[in-house]
Amino acid sequence: MASGRIIFLNGTSSSGKSSIARELLDILDDGVFFHLAVDAFNAMRSKRELGAEELDAALRRTRMGFHRSIAAMAEAGNDIVVDHVLSEPWRLLDCLTVLRPEDVLFVGVRCPLDELTRRELARGDRPPGLAAHQYALVHGHGDYDLECDTSSASPRECALQIKEFLPRRPSPTAFTRLRHLIDGRDPLRA
* Rounded Cα–Cα distance for residues 177 and 173 (Å): 6
* Rounded Cα–Cα distance for residues 58 and 172 (Å): 34
Q: What is the DSSP letter of 121?
A: H
| Residues 6+ positions from 13 with CB-CB distance below 8 Å | 85, 116, 120, 126, 130, 131, 134
Answer yes or no: 39 catalytic: yes
- The active-site residue, picked from 26, 30, 39, 114, is 39
Could you tell me which of 98, 120, 116 has the C-alpha nearest to residue 175?
A: 98
- Active-site residue list: 39
